[in-house]
Structure 1
């Protein structure tokens, strides 16, 4: 692309790409996409966004295109990588553009500069930092602000690199510029504090510069020093944080009413507290000297009459206190192997914490946490009234880092666990103060009870020895649930939650029926929606308990399902429906087959819910999960709802349908479960298999479950399935085996082996095109014992069930080895002898021994030469599969199954389940030579035929070649 001539064309195309008219926009976007890989395109785009005379929207779009180009094409190894000359032009353009007048474009240019810096700085772009610092020192206010913005984004990007060389580079950059940025911060902060009292218009400019410089200092402090306490400038900065915090908090109070400035002040305050959090996390040793000051500061501004100043500040303060108590560095070391310096720091920190948290201090913090911060606010209650589902949304994960309520609860738990002996009497005193139902008309009393119950629920495990929960549950909590006053819903919701917290901690099994009745009482449709949702969650906790007894829940299943079903119809949000569905699923799973008579209503509702959730794939995943548990519970009766089930599976596993991206994993599990429990192969199930070839083409991500599904089909309807899909099966498996790891190859070979077991004569013929290639693989060096075991097992079945085919395979393979078929057989037998120890499962060993025994009657010179080796291997297997009968003393083959026997526990298949699929596996096992033929009897028969075939003299000569000990052992087994 010629830069001189193409610039106007690119500019015009970018202008058209900003159009609101789709007929203009789409062709322009397509043209820009075509240019993305053209040399010179991004340097033209850089010139366009740097030209302040061009329309702002066009320049903003130009920056975005350049950002995307850097992500894709800047690295030298990237396809269509940018030439060094073009990259140099872009870099020069970026550091000559510190006078961008539009803030939004300036931000994007700064981010773009940072992206380039992350890849090139400092070696490929040594002039970046000096140029930016020179611009920061400029007297031009706009240039200085834009340079600070760029320095902030560059610092943030460089600080994110974690390789040792990159960290060293960032430390070097920090050493060079930290002092200067610190002086800027101090100067801008002093200037702002001077202007704050006068309400000068320059306050906004000053505070914006404070924010930018402080953000730079934050990253450099956290990631730019090995040890902060050894650097005078960083020590000076950390020591100034608390006075600066005090000053900014006072400033925020004095400027109340100037909303924009107050908001900026709060950003400075929050960033200062974030720096403390970073240092506590990244440099706990350097934070040691600030522990006491931090704790005093947190208490002063959060646990006194000053109250809650603003949420983000309180959250960071609470996380600072929690971080100090939670830090492993500050916990006393018991091990003598600990480093002495670390132990000294731990002891100092421990003493400081112990001295600070006196009983009076703990009592005050505990009471304020519970009675001030745990209280539901007016906003909470307004949200509850407006949208109960939103109010019930749980905040999990790292929400304690950003949200006040979870942050407060985490701090309470941390303090309570650390000082349980001191705080338990205080909390128990609070519980006593609210004993019994309170005045339903007193909101203050209700909120206080809610807060205290919240604390008791959070600390349930720590209060195990201090609360007789059975008595409290029966005498008090059940009574609270019976108070049906509307305002008392707050207490009812909290009580049913509290029971859910304690149910697995200390609630007697004998009280479980009473618990289910209590849950039913607050699941009714006339109850508040938030209370009902909490009751559903408590039901899940009760069912999830180790001591759960399904028979105790059985009398309540029908009404519980009815109320849960009604709850499911009443909620609107996808997430809420998912939560309720998960309760359904869990109850169904835990109840097992007992659930069958009670799920008709759910089955009536799920088809409608499936249709309604067409745009909510995660809800559909929850429905699939529920259906999996339903199929498990229904067993063979699942055919009653195949009309709904099979279309759902088809949509979920059809790779031509967009939803499969979300539904495939659960859809495959449902497909497998349906096959496992179906009593016969229906036409609908057979048609469903048309989805499978495309799924196998996707690769190995879902290979295991796909192969299990094919296995289930082979067991469910072997004749019908193979008649329809044998060619598809062979071609799909052949294609998969061309490029696959050993683990995947083993899974495929197990499936082929299943076909051989189900069709002893036709199975090997069906896969005959693959067998020469497999034989070449087996004769090549193979160091995977499991894979070698599968190869030997597979060819054992071919040899045992279709010797004619085996000779054909040997004849096809021998020329590729430069041998004749007898030599190839000899090589195979040598390999068998060498690798037999790799076959670990008794079943596979036995099929190998049966196959080798079948050769004893074959009149081939190779077999005669290997006679003793064959006998050795077979006798070795006899030791593995025979046991002495306690009554007769005769050696019997324990793998042989009687009419009532199932496969031995050491069988080749996986986990056993009581379903139709397992029954079919047992039936197939009874037909398998491994379980239907006695190895010792078969060997006696083969040796007898060998004797007749070779004559007594030759047979005796063959037996003389066998080791005398082996011969003696053989006679013992065959006696």
Structure 2
């Protein structure tokens, strides 16, 4: 078989291995394993990677999948079994056939991506050795294609091909710089690539100015290349640092909303932020004042690279004038609400709020990176910059609400950085207080400022005094009532109320007068919202108020919550009329919109909302459970929610609500004073939950313990066998934490049922005793089991002797040995005292036994040990060691009994 025939054979095997037909795929995988044993296997793969056989287009699905397959093989076999893969791909990229060139470059990029993911030092060094060669060859391709594009010296189809070559080369450059070299100086062609980026800003720096799709994409790739090089080699980047600082600074300064390309400007802002906070430069090692006072600072970028020189370059670049101009540009151009956001304010307010929340959590966006850059610059020269920001905000006239909103946003984002340099109370007692007190306005600009003011109050929650909170609380509650005409203002106010309630400065008594109105407004607000995420956030506000307010105040709101939640629970997953109207309008405008399957798509939000409802009920039960169980409507609601949340079938919500459901269940049992029929009917759910897995074992065990304490003999008579079965199965199949949880339940039951506890749990105690004797459990589990056995002996030694030890004297001797061995490892004085008391009782009962008497010395030793611990604890507590005397008496009784 010739080399070409072998390559074609491997190619078609690979195609079959990628098919959806299982039988064909299995045959192909077997054939591929057989082919791996042949000598020409890698040569055939190289031929496929460099000559894509019958593919008409280099980007076809089969071609791309085969490139991915080859990259995974190269990851495991380079360089030992397949050392020539990179050189073969580089040579193939020089051919005249454009489809072959692109396919080779695509495969090369994927291979480099896989090789870059290897972290072992030998693998890294293997890539270091070949990276300069690969970079050099790609550099030639890069320069050739760039010249053709600049001269426009080819037909349109070939120009597109050369653009694709540029894209692939720049992606490979990025991987080689980041992962293929220890020092950028090892790559001789790197300065040439960087100079090309600087030399042709119309091609590679089009972020702030409009350009073609090709120019914007190349600009984005160039920005990522520069940023990756700086992140990977910050000190070696010294020669390029002044140039790219200036280029990307100008990009942000020249930004024009609606014209500039946000994605590329985002890379520019990210680069400036990374430089400003680069740990290698140790910029924080000197203050701005010290740096300005230093004489004759004129670092030379072309000199020997050093972190100190880079630091001086950065500090010299961000002088007062540049910093002020950059901050002003970011506030006036990037922090300002865009035209699309202003339109969204009325058309889709919930989306606007969700986008704002996403920005707070670090969503990748130009505005977020500029906010981070703004904070970095601010904290470096806070005494000088903060007054300028405040002056800028105070100088903005009321007829420019978007600019004022941007200034307030800047102040709010830098809240932690301007502490000590700004008194928020002055603003609050002045123009901000007037804004909060103003009535609803038909002017959108005024409503934007009102919403931003509520947001700003939440940002400065930690700095608010109690007197200020007393004034602000009713104003925020009033803003929630604007829901009928401006949903953004209402939602922002609700979020601000939650933030103030979560803060340590919250005083429940001061908010009590507004609690009822606030909860009413929140539930009304939910009826105006469509997005599940928005409803979840509003429920978060309600839950926070329930948790933070006093029980006597929350108790009066149980009826209100019980009225609102059932309908809300039933409506999860149902589209509101308002949503239907908006969907119909959108369908008419867009000429057709498929809304089928909307219910299926909303299942994620449905889960969020149901989880929030369960969380609210749990908080309410923990706060005022005794009141909740007495309110019939609330009690029915909780039972219905539990039946759904604990149902592990496909129709129920147990697959995603079982953890929250168990917490609510535990809170319900803890608050109940009667063992009712509804509560009793829920217990079989424990077996179904643990029948799926043991992920919620501890939560279920807590519920079972609560049932035993609440139901008493009635519960044990009905579910005692089921309880024993669950505990037996868990003790033999779970890890230490599960065993400890089971031991806690048994301990509680022995306390709750002193007369029948040992008889109820005799089978489990025998199994526990066998595990202790076998010494297969961990030390912590053995100590817990031994402590529990000691409890059982002290509870009813006659039944323990008959049902557990089975009147076997040898087991009694082994039990004493285990008690003595595990005493030192027991945590806590109480369990040690219980163990010593058990030893005394057993010795006294079996003193006639020779084997028992032989262990008196060991028992006396541990008695003395625990007595001393008890006396020391008594001295610390001022009790005078009375407990020690009692144990001494117990020891004497043992010997006297003999």
TM-score, scaled to structure 1? 0.78
Is 1:566 paired with 2:524? Answer: yes
When structure 1 is superposed on structure 2, of 466-475 and 106-115 the one drifting more is 106-115
Whole-angstrom distance in 2 between the partners of 1:662 and 1:268: 45
Distance 1:252 1:677, change over 3 A: closer
Counting only pairs closer than 5 Å after superposition, residues 850-861 of structure 1 correspond to structure 2 as 850-855=837-842, 856-861=844-849
Distance 1:839 1:465, change over 3 A: closer
Deviations 1:89-132 (A, max 9, x none): 99746535255224342333333333343344444444543443
Match of 1:662 among 647, 656, 662: 656
Whole-angstrom distance in 1 between the partners of 2:255 and 2:805: 95
Deviations 1:664-688 (A, max 9, x none): 2211211112222222222222221
Aligned partner of 1:675 in structure 2 is: 669
Whole-angstrom distance in 1 between the partners of 2:638 and 2:381: 55
Counting only pairs closer than 5 Å after superposition, residues 220-369 of structure 1 correspond to structure 2 as 220-249=176-205, 262-304=212-254, 309-332=260-283, 345-369=306-330
Is 1:713 paired with 2:675? Answer: no
Distance 1:886 1:660, change over 3 A: closer
Does the 8 Å contact 2:273/2:369 carry over to 1? no
Does the 8 Å contact 1:446/1:490 carry over to 2? yes
Whole-angstrom distance in 2 between the partners of 1:250 and 1:650: 59
Distance 1:66 1:380, change over 3 A: farther
Does the 8 Å contact 1:854/1:942 carry over to 2? no
Match of 1:117 among 74, 96, 113: 74
When structure 1 is superposed on structure 2, of 874-883 and 126-135 the one drifting more is 874-883
Distance 1:372 1:944, change over 3 A: closer
Does the 8 Å contact 2:281/2:307 carry over to 1? yes
Whole-angstrom distance in 2 between the partners of 1:290 and 1:705: 58
Is 1:778 paired with 2:796? Answer: no
Aligned partner of 2:589 in structure 1 is: none
Whole-angstrom distance in 2 between the partners of 1:73 and 1:229: 46
Deviations 1:492-542 (A, max 9, x none): 1111111111121x2211111211122022111344101111111111111
Match of 1:690 among 684, 695, 700: 684
Distance 1:344 1:887, change over 3 A: closer
Whole-angstrom distance in 1 between the partners of 2:729 and 2:204: 69
Tell me the CA shift for residue 555 of structure 1. Answer: 0.5
Does the 8 Å contact 2:763/2:804 carry over to 1? no
Distance 1:216 1:720, change over 3 A: same
Tell me the CA shift for residue 424 of structure 1. Answer: 1.5
Does the 8 Å contact 2:249/2:272 carry over to 1? no
Is 1:472 paired with 2:427? Answer: yes
Tell me the CA shift for residue 203 of structure 1. Answer: 2.5
Distance 1:663 1:125, change over 3 A: farther
Whole-angstrom distance in 2 between the partners of 1:879 and 1:599: 53
Match of 1:390 among 339, 343, 351: 351
Counting only pairs closer than 5 Å after superposition, residues 65-76 of structure 1 correspond to structure 2 as none
When structure 1 is superposed on structure 2, of 111-120 and 562-571 the one drifting more is 111-120
Whole-angstrom distance in 1 between the partners of 2:283 and 2:427: 38
Does the 8 Å contact 1:582/1:622 carry over to 2? yes
Whole-angstrom distance in 2 between the partners of 1:563 and 1:613: 20
Aligned length in residues: 822
Aligned partner of 1:612 in structure 2 is: 571
Match of 1:47 among 12, 28, 40: 12
Match of 1:192 among 130, 143, 149: 149
Does the 8 Å contact 2:425/2:464 carry over to 1? yes
Is 1:532 paired with 2:532? Answer: no
Does the 8 Å contact 1:810/1:825 carry over to 2? no
Aligned partner of 1:421 in structure 2 is: 383
Distance 1:679 1:599, change over 3 A: same
Whole-angstrom distance in 2 between the partners of 1:459 and 1:806: 68
Whole-angstrom distance in 2 between the partners of 1:44 and 1:768: 70
Whole-angstrom distance in 1 between the partners of 2:623 and 2:496: 22
Distance 1:138 1:832, change over 3 A: same
- CA RMSD in angstroms comes to 3.5
When structure 1 is superposed on structure 2, of 158-167 and 268-277 the one drifting more is 158-167
**Partner SS, residue 432 of structure 1:** helix
Counting only pairs closer than 5 Å after superposition, residues 755-834 of structure 1 correspond to structure 2 as 755-781=749-775, 784-808=778-802, 821-834=808-821
Does the 8 Å contact 1:681/1:716 carry over to 2? yes
Whole-angstrom distance in 2 between the partners of 1:239 and 1:399: 37
Distance 1:788 1:212, change over 3 A: same
Aligned partner of 2:540 in structure 1 is: 582
Whole-angstrom distance in 1 between the partners of 2:506 and 2:712: 41
Deviations 1:164-207 (A, max 9, x none): 343333333423412111211111111111118x9855322221
Match of 1:403 among 357, 365, 377: 365
When structure 1 is superposed on structure 2, of 510-519 and 92-101 the one drifting more is 92-101
Distance 1:938 1:521, change over 3 A: same
**Partner SS, residue 739 of structure 1:** coil
When structure 1 is superposed on structure 2, of 882-891 and 187-196 the one drifting more is 882-891
Match of 2:859 among 856, 870, 892: 870
Aligned partner of 2:404 in structure 1 is: 449
Deviations 1:928-961 (A, max 9, x none): xxxxxxx9669858966975xx6xxxx5xxxxxx
Does the 8 Å contact 1:655/1:694 carry over to 2? yes
Aligned partner of 1:175 in structure 2 is: 132
Does the 8 Å contact 2:229/2:237 carry over to 1? yes
Does the 8 Å contact 1:333/1:346 carry over to 2? no
Deviations 1:558-592 (A, max 9, x none): 11111111111111001111111111111111114
Deviations 1:685-740 (A, max 9, x none): 22211111132234442222121111111112122222222112222222222233
Deviations 1:16-72 (A, max 9, x none): xxxxxxxxxxxxxxxxxxxxxxxxxxx99962885xxxxxxxx9x9457799979x9
Match of 1:652 among 624, 645, 649: 645
Does the 8 Å contact 1:100/1:146 carry over to 2? no
Match of 1:596 among 533, 552, 555: 555
Distance 1:773 1:886, change over 3 A: closer
Aligned partner of 1:145 in structure 2 is: 102
Gaps of 5+ in 2: 1-7, 287-303, 574-602
Whole-angstrom distance in 1 between the partners of 2:24 and 2:505: 56
Tell me the CA shift for residue 270 of structure 1. Answer: 0.3
Distance 1:172 1:546, change over 3 A: same
**Partner SS, residue 337 of structure 2:** coil
Match of 2:628 among 630, 638, 646: 638
Distance 1:886 1:539, change over 3 A: closer
Whole-angstrom distance in 2 between the partners of 1:251 and 1:495: 33
Is 1:745 paired with 2:739? Answer: yes
Distance 1:549 1:661, change over 3 A: same
Does the 8 Å contact 1:331/1:349 carry over to 2? no
Aligned partner of 1:18 in structure 2 is: none
Whole-angstrom distance in 2 between the partners of 1:803 and 1:518: 67
Aligned partner of 2:590 in structure 1 is: none
Distance 1:427 1:347, change over 3 A: same
Tell me the CA shift for residue 403 of structure 1. Answer: 1.5
Deviations 1:409-435 (A, max 9, x none): 222122212232331232122022037
